[in-house]
Amino acid sequence: MGRHVDNKCKLCRREGMKLFLKGQRCFTEKCAVSRRDYPPGVHAQKRAKPTDFGVRVREKQKLKRIYGVWERQFKLYFAEAERIKGNTGENLMVLLERRLDNVVLASGFALSRNHARQLVNHGHFAVNGRFIDVASFSVRPGDVLTVRGGDAVRKQVADAVEINKSQPVPAWLEVNRDNLSARVVAQPRREDVPHPIQEQLIIELCSK
């Protein structure tokens, strides 16, 4: 699995919005987007106005970077979204929301998406009592997520829960902070996705 190892704040500045790649830091005055709300680079502020194609490309890049997927993974998600009955854009957003690493993050069990992915890849979570170490695993209504591992792992997750306690939990998840578990109570809907993505622009780009 590939991962982005460069400066993550530059990704947010390039897209012109907070992608929340550093968790709680993004809510503080240290956020790079708040301090420098222009793209990175020496000549960034002199760039020409983007074309219609460029706007659509940037929208796709936002979505990929928010959920931490690469181009090949994104194409697979898009193909599946097209196969599912209904609106392709909404289907795409729902498929990404159902990723296991996203559920861990949305439940407040991790400090950032990278942290959530690390916890999943190291086998610190189980779904319905079954060991799962694949971040892209897709959850379904009725699935129960629990923490695996010793006291050190549970303390790490409990600390994240305490830090994230002010963040709202999506309506499609039911979180028990005392025993560190979460239950998927429903299929996520488009309105449950907190990110300001214009998925129609992505559909127009990828359908060509």
Confidence band (pLDDT; 50, 70, 90) for 51?
confident
pLDDT at 13: 59
Q: Which residue has the higher pLDDT, 166 or 180?
A: 180
Confidence band (pLDDT; 50, 70, 90) for 166?
confident
- Taking only the tens place, the pLDDT of each residue in 144-161 is 999 998 889 999 999 999
Residue pointed to by tokens 């897209």:
15
Cα-Cα-Cα-Cα dihedral of 64, 67, 70, 75, to 10°? Answer: -70
- Taking only the tens place, the pLDDT of each residue in 196-207 is 888 888 888 887
Residue pointed to by tokens 């709680």:
24
- Taking only the tens place, the pLDDT of each residue in 177-197 is 989 999 999 999 888 887 788
DSSP the chain: -----S-HHHHHHHHTS---TTGGGGGSTT-HHHH--S-SSTTGGGPPPPPHHHHHHHHHHHHHHHHT--HHHHHHHHHHHHHSSS-HHHHHHHHHHTBHHHHHHHTT-SSSHHHHHHHHHTT-EEETTEE---TTPBP-TT-EEEE-S-HHHHHHHHHHHHHTTTSPPPTTEEEETTTTEEEE-S---GGG--S---HHHHHHHHT-
Q: Which residue has the higher pLDDT, 3 or 104?
A: 104
Q: Which residue has the higher pLDDT, 105 or 40?
A: 105
> At residue 33, does pLDDT exceed 50?
yes
> At residue 8, does pLDDT exceed 90?
no
Q: Which domains does the chain have, with CATH numbers?
A: 8-96+193-206 (1.10.1050.10), 99-187 (3.10.290.10)
Specify the amino acid at residue 34: S
Q: What is the mean pLDDT of residues 83-112?
A: 92
Residue pointed to by tokens 């400090």:
111
Q: What is the mean pLDDT of residues 58-68?
A: 87
pLDDT at 92: 93
Using a pLDDT cut of 90, give the percent of the chain over it. Answer: 45
Q: At what angle do helices 8-15 and 52-67 cross, to 10 degrees?
A: 150
pLDDT at 5: 54
User: By the 8 A CB rule, do 119 and 104 touch?
Assistant: yes
pLDDT at 103: 95
